[in-house]
Amino acid sequence: MNNSRKKITAYLHPSIYQQDKKAIDFIDNLPSQLKGDFYRQAIITAAAVSQIDSRLLGLISTFYSKEFDINNLYSILEQTTGREKISQSVELKHEATNEFSSEKNLSARLSNLKR
């Protein structure tokens, strides 16, 4: 197995960019053992998002602020991709997953009662 690795160094500028400060605050609150995985996953996620649309990474990082929430993300995705109602589609899938999960939990509980 090839054990080659790639070291990546980046700098955040909290005195210049508010989103850099928010990112630092978030990272500082992560447990030490999770930070390496977080950095790795962030880089991979950035590559995946950029592959979908190169504008998304810049837009999401620019709008990352105290007020940033899931609705802001949906809005950026809808405006950038041209797909409307992404948030409604995600909510419907989430509701269906919750219903399935509830049915599965109910089935498990019923099985335990039968024993």
Number of CB atoms found within 10 A of residue 56's CB? 19
- What band does 60 get if pLDDT is binned at 50, 70 and 90? very high
Same domain, residue pair 49 and 33 = yes
Number of domains in the chain: 2
Same domain, residue pair 20 and 74 = yes
3-state helix, strand, coil in the chain (%, to 5): 70, 0, 30
- What band does 24 get if pLDDT is binned at 50, 70 and 90? very high
Rounded Cα distance, 7 and 78, in Å? 34
User: How confident is the model at residue 115, as a pLDDT?
Assistant: 46
**Greater pLDDT, 110 or 7:** 7
Q: Tokens 């809808």 label which residue?
A: 78
Give the DSSP letter string of 98-115.
HHHHHHHHHHHHHHHHH-
CB 49, CB 56: distance < 8 Å: yes
User: Which structural domain range is residue 99 located in?
Assistant: 85-115
